[in-house]
A and B are shown apart, each in its own frame.
Chain A
Amino acid sequence: MSENKPLIIIVDDEPLQRELLKDHLSKMSGYQILTFGTGEECIAAGKVRKPTLVFLDYYLNTQVKDAMDGLEVLKEMKTIYPDVDVVMISSQDKIEVAVNSIKYGAFDYIVKGEGSFYRAEKVLFNVYRYNKLKGDAARYKSLTIWMGSAIVLMIIIAIVLQQMGFIKANPGWY
């Protein structure tokens, strides 16, 4: 059943951090949330099912030195799914961390701390709204194309019928 829900993946090598964010976002119904301690696990899960949103720790190699760091995971996820939204999370409030995240395609960047959970909630809402707008824009675009095509088709039919003498040049004038 939960497989039909949009998927959120949380990746952090700190179990407490993962659990706090998962519990907080779980309050918002309608999402399936998976948590992982490494980027490698996240990529493996992402290959099985496309996530809607990924919350990704910037420093993922504090426990295991050879583990992929957040930026590597971000690049890999963007290679697999260019349109997946990834939010980087870090305790570092250095500007270069934020710049690097955005440079490699992150949707947003959150600094860990008491306010980060409410910020993550807000980002989730923004992603939802952004995706909805994208969907609406695509629908309006296809509707415009269909309507335009229908009008052109009607004009062509009218010209053909006129040429064949089925309708007069100025119908209703006389």
Chain B
Amino acid sequence: MSEQKKLTDLAFLRNLTGGQPDKMIKYLRMFLSGTPQSITQMELHALSKDWSAVKQTAHSIKPQLGYFGAKGSEDLMKQIEQYADSQTDNDKIPEMINNFRQQYETISAELEQELNILTA
């Protein structure tokens, strides 16, 4: 069975921190504790059709995904931000947020695994 391609890549963070485990652990914990709240916030904003708030939340999550190598999700977040900004394809946004939530399940599982390795 072929191994499924990972959604994350910690190469950038390893390079930035010089591979220091304490810093890697700190950043992983910060991302894993902060992002679920941001996703929920974004879902609530979409529910209340507050597209400006959706845009701002997507805007703040976007670069963080890049730091953890989740390029596909970063692109999705960029798209959400653009749709929310243009106010044209707003009806597609809830589905896109839902897709992101699903991606985040995998992202968080991968990062939890990395965290376990680093803290072992």
**Is A113's CB under 8 angstroms from B30's CB?**
no
Chain A, residue nearest B50 (CB): A65
Per-position 1/0 for A112-146, Cβ under 8 A of B: 11101100000000000000000000000000000
A13 to B64, CA, bound (A): 13
The interface residues of chain B, by DSSP majority, are classed as: helix
Q: Is B96 in contact with chain A by the CB < 8 A criterion?
A: no
Once the chains are docked, how many angstroms separate the CA of A124 from the CA of B17?
Answer: 19
Question: CA–CA, A63 to B60, complex, Å?
Answer: 9
A61 touches B67 (CB 8 A): no
A19 and B30 contacting across the interface, CB-CB below 8 Å:
yes
Contacts between chains A and B (CB distance < 8 A), count: 46
B6 at the interface (CB under 8 A from A): no
- Count, chain B residues at interface, CB 8 A: 19
B16 and A13 within 8 A (CB): no
Contact with A along B15-59 (1 / 0, CB 8 A): 011000001001100110010000000000000000001001101
Interface check A17, CB cutoff 8 A? yes
Query: SS class of chain A's interface: helix, strand, loop or mixed?
Result: loop
Task: List, in ascending order, chain A residues with CB within 8 A of B57's CB.
Answer: 62
Residues of B with C-beta under 8 A to A62: 56-57, 59-60
CB-defined contacts of B56 to chain A, threshold 8 Å: 59, 61-62
Q: Quick check: B23 and A16 within 8 Å, CB to CB?
A: no
What are 23 A-B contacts with C-beta separation under 8 Å? Answer: A13-B60, A14-B34, A14-B60, A15-B34, A16-B30, A16-B31, A17-B63, A19-B26, A19-B27, A23-B17, A59-B59, A59-B60, A62-B56, A62-B60, A63-B60, A91-B59, A91-B60, A91-B63, A113-B66, A114-B12, A114-B66, A114-B67, A117-B16
Residues of B within 8 A of A (CB): 12, 16-17, 23, 26-27, 30-31, 34, 53, 56-57, 59-60, 62-64, 66-67
